[in-house]
Amino acid sequence: MQWLNVLNANVRKEYIELKRYLPNTIALVLTFYFIFLGAFFGIMFIGDPATFDSNVQYSIVSVVFWGLTLMTMNFIGFAIITEAMRGTLEQLYMSPKGVWKIMLTRIIGQFLIQSICMIILLFAVMLTSGQWLNLNPMTTIPIILVTMISMVGISFMIAGLAIIVKQIQAFLQIFQFILMALVFIPLTVAPYLVFAPFVKGVNMVREVMIVNMTLRDIAWMDYGILLLNSIVYLILGLLVFHWCERIAMKKGLLGQY
């Protein structure tokens, strides 16, 4: 019951902030929309006409997933920075639920809200390009939810760094291009990226949306790799976060900015 109360409070918090700073949210969605337009017109004018449809569909899925991963994986880091700037980070550590649980419920709320934004973006780019993907929510939603677990793990790693270093905005700017590379590079070109977080899930969703695959068409080995990858990165993320917490407490960094 306490978990539900914490989850409800933080989902409401994220919704209120999104509504209060709505122009910023709209600008964020428009940014990814214009990035897609750049890729779309690039494919149109200099791409191979024979593979135009498949290239555009690939770009649609990649841009939408890049936006989702970027906002999800950077979220806790930005939340820690914001709390430190406001001087409320130490107050969070007074909660009996623990900071990692509070941040976990916040990222769930953020993921739900940002998913709505990404769905709007998805339909906008499909309408613009005239390329309609096979959404198949019964297949894509379970894969995305499992993929999100690894994103949460990386987000906790970034948050741990933010607790100690405080100013990590420059790192996050570099990190967004690393995420872009991980999302856009297919596993057929770089099979070793299967060990990277969320890449396997993005590849599976891409196959569902472009090739019209269903849950039964995907091999059980792929599900196993995706689940193992997500669990490993979640555990690593929590371990790194708690390790950074202990360092920050020993050095008295929680109340500093």
Q: What angle separates helix 99-129 from helix 220-251, to the nearest 10 degrees?
A: 130
For residue 186, is it within any domain?
Answer: yes
Half-sphere exposure of 247 toward its Cβ, with a 13 Å CA cutoff?
A: 12
How far is CA 162 from each of CA 77, 81, 219, rounded to the nearest angstrom? 6, 6, 39
For residue 257, is it within any domain?
Answer: no
Half-sphere exposure of 4 toward its Cβ, with a 13 Å CA cutoff?
A: 1
Tens-binned pLDDT, residue by residue, of the chain (257 aa): 677 787 788 788 878 888 888 888 788 788 888 888 887 777 776 666 677 788 888 888 888 888 888 888 888 887 887 777 777 777 777 777 778 888 888 888 888 888 888 888 888 888 888 888 888 888 888 999 999 999 999 999 988 888 888 777 778 788 888 888 888 888 888 889 899 998 999 999 988 888 888 888 888 999 999 999 999 999 999 999 999 988 888 887 776 65
Whether residue 182 contacts residue 193, with contact meaning beta carbons closer than 8 Å, is answered with yes
Radius of gyration of the chain, Cα coordinates, nearest whole angstrom: 19
Q: Tell me the whole-structure pTM to 2 decimals.
A: 0.87
For residue 196, is it within any domain?
Answer: yes
**Residues of the domain holding 237:** 2-251
| Total structural domains within the chain | 1
For residue 256, is it within any domain?
Answer: no
DSSP line for 25-57 = HHHHHHHHHHHHHHHHHHHHHHS-GGGHHHHHH
Report which of 132, 124, 73, 126 is spatially closest to residue 103, judged by C-alpha positions.
73
